[in-house]
Amino acid sequence: MLNRRDLLVNSGAVAGAATAGILQGRAEEERAARRLHIVVAGAHPGDPEAACGGTMALLADRGHEVIALYTTRGERGIAGKSSAEAGAIRTREGEKACALLKARPLFADQVDADTRITPAHYDSFRRLLETAKPDAVLTHWPLDTHRDHRGCALLVYDAWLTLGRKFGLYFFEVSTGQETQHFRPTDYVNITAVEQRKRAACFAHASQNPRTFYADCLDMQRFRGRETGCKHAEAFIHHEQSPRHGLPA
């Protein structure tokens, strides 16, 4: 039998737990309501859009700041063009795509097909990423056949470690099975409502034969949609040691 003192202690513990739960719930609501800074880091203009342009559009529509951080300007991505010409063309295409997604373009100092992983490049990339004050960063999965994709992933991962593992870290896929390897999603985003905007952003990269590469995007997002019960979805792997926020519900 509980005496009066035991009842008071127990009721106080229950009230304390309830209060803690309410406070935690309020903190989560406040975080969801505030404007987040989301960085989508891709190796080349077109990579963020193809991998998660739908998620970028949804985040921007909800009032969050979305930054497309391109590691390179795609300098070697147009046959018959010099590096300077190709870089200028693909920079303009990236800017056009970002305007469609309501995102802001940002360019690092790496070179297409020559992404370098050195202490100096780690430091310069970290400083650039730090200026964005990210709440979450989405980037390439490091097991990828493209060297630039792997390089971008490592630059982001090193920045995440150096900056104290404070921002949410998510990995996206690009042409899974052909380039992205051994990708096992933990999170999905239903992009059905914004698929047409993603398509338009990808087709802004006219120099990259978008009709062909977007066919791969459609196959992938329809497959991910079937996995999660919608028409079109994008998939991500969340780093379990990072905060879990930044993706649309």
pLDDT at position 8: 44
pTM for this predicted structure: 0.87
Output the CA–CA distances (angstroms, integers) from residue 126 to 35, 81, 123, 227, in the order listed.
22, 31, 5, 35
Distance CA 94, CA 90 (A): 6
Burial of 91 (0-12, 13-18, 19+ CB in 10 A): middle
As a whole number, mean pLDDT of residues 8-26 equals: 50
Going by the DSSP 8-state scheme, the letter that residue 116 receives in this structure is -
Is 66 strand, coil or helix? strand
- Summarised one tens digit per residue, pLDDT across range 123-177 is 999 999 999 999 999 999 999 999 999 999 999 999 999 999 999 999 999 998 8
Look at strands 233-238 and 187-190 and give their pairing: antiparallel
Output the CA–CA distances (angstroms, integers) from residue 153 to 43, 76, 140, 168, 182, in the order listed.
9, 20, 5, 14, 15
Q: Which of 193, 190, 194, 173 is nearest to 182 (CA)?
A: 173
Is 140 strand, coil or helix? strand
Angle between helical axes of 210-228 and 195-203 (0-180°, round to 10):
160
Q: What structural domains and CATH numbers belong to the chain?
A: 37-238 (3.40.50.10320)
